[in-house]
């Protein structure tokens, strides 16, 4: 009968994706920029998880980091300044089948995009947010960003910024319904990979702040921590970011931290003398907004038109 599988039908060859299936244009970031390491980590993860390129999408705003979608051979959306997250929420609400990454910077996310960022964390829709934090507006040539250290020189504050910098981790941990908050450093690729891997496996909004080197404008910001691993605090726990012992032994300072303890997470986030890396907090029971926005996805075009007409009829006079 038509439509039934026959004994003589042969299954097509299984698709196997290689690293090159996720590599697009050659990155135009400066040599030594930390963005390269994160791009490689995401491409490797996509290969290792065998994410179909046509089922993977990267959304970004504006900034050096936001060129990321151009370098992934997947679907991508290079949005407006600060508007990556509402775009990503729209993608998720209509396409729950996609692997969704959002790439943003400390200016794009923490300044013009602040409101969208807070509400995206609260909505907890299934996506992985990568915040590239280099403490400066790089694309527009060195203006003070929300995370620029006090006293640092910039084009907007040539005599030194007088602001206390914003702490993205502390802010994220203060948002209601937040479900996954982590931090890593671009100069340790194994930890970057392990952190993004844990985030991608989480069901909900995963927020990762990445300390990211800008060799042109803020080369000195993370230089000492890169040379001296004792300035980094490694958070470890069976439910946290899992790294090999060969990686863990690089860090003299370590702390056992249960990511279910949000109060302790907030204490560690406020460390100013060290760079904490690992998983601060995870709540697998947080509500997900897409469970409401996904209504009607299975409707046919005729059913959608009929439903729309019923709604419009309510306003007839």
DSSP label at residue 216? T
The pLDDT of 89-114, averaged and rounded, is: 96
Instruction: Label residue 132 exposed, middle or buried (CB < 10 Å: 0-12, 13-18, 19+).
Output: buried
Question: 48-78, pLDDT tens digit by residue?
Answer: 999 999 999 999 999 999 999 999 999 999 9
Indicate if the pLDDT at residue 110 is higher than 60: yes
Note the residue count of the chain: 317
pLDDT score of 85: 98
pLDDT score of 185: 98
Indicate if the pLDDT at residue 2 is higher than 70: no
Question: 190-236, pLDDT tens digit by residue?
Answer: 999 999 999 999 999 999 999 999 999 999 999 999 999 999 999 99
Percentages helix, strand, coil for the chain, rounded to the nearest 5? 35, 20, 45
Indicate if the pLDDT at residue 243 is higher than 60: yes
Question: 282-302, pLDDT tens digit by residue?
Answer: 999 999 998 888 777 888 989
Indicate if the pLDDT at residue 86 is higher than 70: yes
Indicate if the pLDDT at residue 5 is higher than 80: no
pLDDT score of 1: 44
pLDDT score of 292: 83
What is the CATH topology of the domain spanning 19-291? Rossmann fold (3.40.50)
Segments making up each domain of the chain, as ranges: 19-291
Tell which residue, 207, 193, 200, 176, has the closest CA to residue 84: 207
């Amino acid at each position: 009968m038509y439509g039934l599988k026959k004994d003589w039908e042969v299954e097509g060859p299984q698709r196997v994706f290689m690293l090159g299936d996720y590599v697009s244009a050659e990155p135009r970031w400066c040599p030594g920029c930390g963005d390269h390491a994160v791009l490689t980590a995401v491409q490797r993860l996509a290969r290792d998880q065998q994410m179909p390129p046509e089922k993977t999408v990267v959304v970004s705003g504006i900034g050096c980091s936001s060129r990321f979608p151009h370098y992934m051979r997947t679907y991508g959306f290079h949005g407006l300044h600060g508007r990556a997250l509402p775009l990503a929420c729209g993608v998720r609400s209509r396409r729950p089948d996609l692997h969704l990454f959002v790439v943003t910077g400390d200016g794009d996310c923490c300044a013009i995009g602040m409101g969208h960022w807070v509400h995206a964390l609260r909505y907890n829709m299934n996506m992985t947010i990568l915040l590239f934090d280099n403490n400066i507006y790089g694309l527009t040539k060195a203006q003070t960003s929300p995370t620029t250290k006090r006293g640092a020189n910039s084009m907007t504050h040539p005599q030194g910024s007088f602001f206390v910098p914003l702490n993205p981790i502390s802010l994220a941990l203060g948002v209601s319904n937040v479900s996954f908050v982590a931090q890593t450093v671009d100069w340790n690729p194994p930890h970057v990979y392990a952190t993004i891997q844990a985030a991608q496996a989480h069901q909900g909004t995963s927020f990762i702040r990445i300390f990211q080197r800008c060799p042109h404008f803020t080369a000195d910001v993370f230089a000492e921590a890169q040379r001296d691993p004792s300035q980094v605090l490694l958070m470890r726990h069976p439910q946290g970011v899992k790294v090999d012992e060969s990686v863990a032994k690089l860090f003299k300072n370590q702390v056992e931290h249960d990511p279910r303890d949000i109060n302790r997470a907030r204490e560690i986030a406020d460390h100013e003398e060290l760079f904490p890396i690992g998983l601060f907090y995870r709540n697998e029971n947080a509500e997900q907004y897409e469970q409401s926005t996904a209504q009607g996805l299975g409707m046919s075009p005729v059913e959608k038109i009929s439903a729309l007409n019923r709604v419009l009829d309510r306003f007839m006079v």
